[in-house]
Amino acid sequence: MSSNQSSLLLRKQLNELKKNPVEGFSAGLVDDSDIYKWDVLLLGPPDTLYEGGLFKCCLTFPKDYPVRPPKLKFISDIWHPNIDKEGNVCISILHEPGNDNFGYESASERWLPVHSVETILISVISMLADPNFESPANVDAAKEWRENVVEFKRKVSRCVRKSQDTLS
């Protein structure tokens, strides 16, 4: 897909989100001149440790989107097994398309061009509510969840409070 086609698709998805906002997040361009870089604000899902959080993220699309997946990075501090210490989100649907060399994921679980900004962000919200401890990007967070859940919850609570403070 040409970059012109990908930019048209992204513009269409952006306009659709403006017309029909989705509960749980808001998204828009970092700079109106660059359709490939989006600011995202994710709300911590209700009835989870992340409830009340207002997490800033950056969604960066490759020029050949939707053939290849975007990258999602949390700018706000967050403690989660599937988000590495630099804020990079690690979930199946954001992994390059095709078969997993390690046999952990099937091709159908990985990136598919049918995904949109909406499906990506809904998947990330779902990941916040239900972490995948089998394949952590943050091994320390996964280990702490298993061995010291009280400390894990304390760290998440600190991140939620900090996310609220940075937006006020």
Give the integer Cα–Cα distance in Å for 56 and 42: 7
| Distances from the Cα of 79 to the Cα of 46, 91, 162, angstroms | 17, 15, 12
Is residue 90 part of the annotated active site? The answer reads yes
Contact yes or no for 123/93 (Cβ under 8 A): yes
For residue 72, give the 3-state DSSP assignment: strand
Tell me which of 57, 58, 90, 159 is the catalytic residue: 90
Show which residues are catalytic.
Answer: 90
